[in-house]
């Protein structure tokens, strides 16, 4: 079966009841499960908005929504088992997610190609690089998911960093220390115009720069426009202590965004 409205509704109901099974009396678990459930809901909205702006038909919009719905389905089991969202200290949550979908037969009513594309895009969503040797269609949905996911993660982390004095969430801070300055490796990665390597992270400022560096891993014009309109880069910059190096990095990411915006407006 292809992805019709009824099927999508069923999948949403499955997801909601699956998430419920992780509700225990534990405060931290409750907060972290809610965090990922809300993230999922917003990534669904982001992917639909991007998909519409890119002119997808209704069936492809439903497929896009489904991959967003399931992209972090592994997060719940990950938190329940390991009490962290750090993959390196626990398990690859994307892979865990595809295993859960398969074990529970969640996608069984869908035709094979649709199942495949959902499982593959979910498995690719958190990789450092896009997959090689994939079909154009799979690659397209992978890119769409990665853009939608980043738009919401930016929002979550920016809100968190700007919320002074609120409750700390070590799952969100990756356990990094809040020490001054930035690491040399991160500075080099950013100035080379590429993504920051996880191994170079030493403190929270480095993590904020890693998020800023995601600008180099965006795929679609409407995503760049959203980043610009929501002032994501500026908001991240605002929560990193000013220094010459930070100014240098910011000038570079900002001009890279401006270039992409120009390209996007030229092509639409």
The residues that touch Fe ion, with contacts defined as CB under 5 A, are 72, 126
Q: What angle do CA 205, 210, 211 make, to 5 degrees?
A: 100
Comparing CB distances to Fe ion, the nearer of 2 and 127 is: 127
Please give the Cα distance from 122 to 146 (Å, whole number): 10
- Under a CB-based contact definition with an 8 Å cutoff, are residues 161 and 181 in contact? no
Question: Of 107 and 182, which has the nearer Cβ to Fe ion?
Answer: 107
- Write down the least CB distance from residue 89 to Fe ion, Å: 15
In whole angstroms, the minimum distance from the beta carbon of 234 to Fe ion comes to 25
- CB of residue 174 vs Fe ion: minimum separation in angstroms? 14
Report in angstroms how near the CB of residue 119 gets to Fe ion at its nearest: 14
Residue with smaller CB distance to Fe ion, 118 or 182: 118
> Which tokens in the block code for residue 254?
């900002």
State the Cα angle at 109 between 104 and 114, rounded to 5°: 100
Least distance (Å) between residue 93 CB and Fe ion: 6
Nearer to Fe ion, 126 or 170 (CB): 126
- Give the whole-angstrom CA distance, residue 229 versus residue 88: 33
Looking at beta carbons only, is 98 or 205 nearer to Fe ion?
Answer: 98
For the CB of residue 231, give the shortest distance to Fe ion in the complex, in Å: 24
* Sign (positive or negative) of CA dihedral 183, 214, 118, 37: positive
**Residue number, 72 or 225, with CB nearest to Fe ion:** 72
Residue 164: CB minimum distance to Fe ion, A: 27
- Residue among 148, 100, 95 nearest 120 (CA): 95
The smaller minimum CB distance to Fe ion, of residues 143 and 260, is found at: 143
Give exposure, 226-264, as e/b (b: 16+ Cβ within 10 Å).
Answer: bbbeeebbebbbeebeeeebbeebbebbbebbeebeeeb
Say if residue 76 is exposed, middle or buried (CB neighbours under 10 Å; 0-12, 13-18, 19+): buried
């Amino acid at each position: 079966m292809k992805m019709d409205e009824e099927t999508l509704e069923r999948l949403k109901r499955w997801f909601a009841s699956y998430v419920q099974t992780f509700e225990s009396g534990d405060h931290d678990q409750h907060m972290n499960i809610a965090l990922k459930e809300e993230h999922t809901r917003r990534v669904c909205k982001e992917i639909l908005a991007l998909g519409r702006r890119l002119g997808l038909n209704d069936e492809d919009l439903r497929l896009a929504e489904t991959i967003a719905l399931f992209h972090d389905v592994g997060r719940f089991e990950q938190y329940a088992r390991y009490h962290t969202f750090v993959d390196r200290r626990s398990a690859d949550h994307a892979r865990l997610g595809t295993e859960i979908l398969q074990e529970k037969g969640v996608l069984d009513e869908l035709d094979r190609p649709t199942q495949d594309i959902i499982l593959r895009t979910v498995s690719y969503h958190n990789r450092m690089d896009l997959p090689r040797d994939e079909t154009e269609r799979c690659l397209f949905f992978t890119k769409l998911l990665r853009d939608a996911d980043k738009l919401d993660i930016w929002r979550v982390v920016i809100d968190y960093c700007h919320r002074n004095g609120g409750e700390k969430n070590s799952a969100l801070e990756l356990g990094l220390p809040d020490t001054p300055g930035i690491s040399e490796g991160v500075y080099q990665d950013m100035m080379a115009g590429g993504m920051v390597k996880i191994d170079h992270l030493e403190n929270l400022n480095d993590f904020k720069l890693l998020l800023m560096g995601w600008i180099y891993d965006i795929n679609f014009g409407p995503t760049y426009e959203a980043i610009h309109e929501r002032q994501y880069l500026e908001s991240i910059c605002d929560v990193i202590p000013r220094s010459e190096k930070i100014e240098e990095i910011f000038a570079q990411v900002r001009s890279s965004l401006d270039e992409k915006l120009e390209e996007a407006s030229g092509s639409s």
